[in-house]
Amino acid sequence: MAVESNYTVTGMTCGHCAASVREEISEIAGVQGVDVNVETGAVTVTSDADLDRAAVDAAVKEAGYALA
């Protein structure tokens, strides 16, 4: 069963920001899909098991942004 997790990422301003966040989160083990809304900062991650928030936080920081 796929699990959907919702996060808010601050600091994204354009499609390039969104692509960076999507790319970093996609590298987390078990992640199947990442949906990013630049305007609201809403990030929905689909994965095959519950995600570790710390792993998502680290991925978002790697991209240069932060979890709200």
Question: CA-based angle 54:20:28, to the nearest 5?
Answer: 40
CB of 9 to Cu ion, least distance (A): 12
Q: By the 8 A CB rule, do 59 and 25 touch? A: yes
Answer yes or no whether residue 8 interacts with Cu ion by CB under 5 A.
no
Question: Mask: binding to Cu ion, 17-56, rule CB under 5 A, as x and -?
Answer: x---------------------------------------
Answer yes or no whether residue 13 interacts with Cu ion by CB under 5 A.
yes
Answer yes or no whether residue 16 interacts with Cu ion by CB under 5 A.
yes
Please give the C-alpha separations between residue 23 and each of 1, 13, 36, 48, in angstroms, as whole numbers. 23, 16, 11, 17
User: Could you list the residues that contact Cu ion (CB under 5 A)?
Assistant: 13-14, 16-17
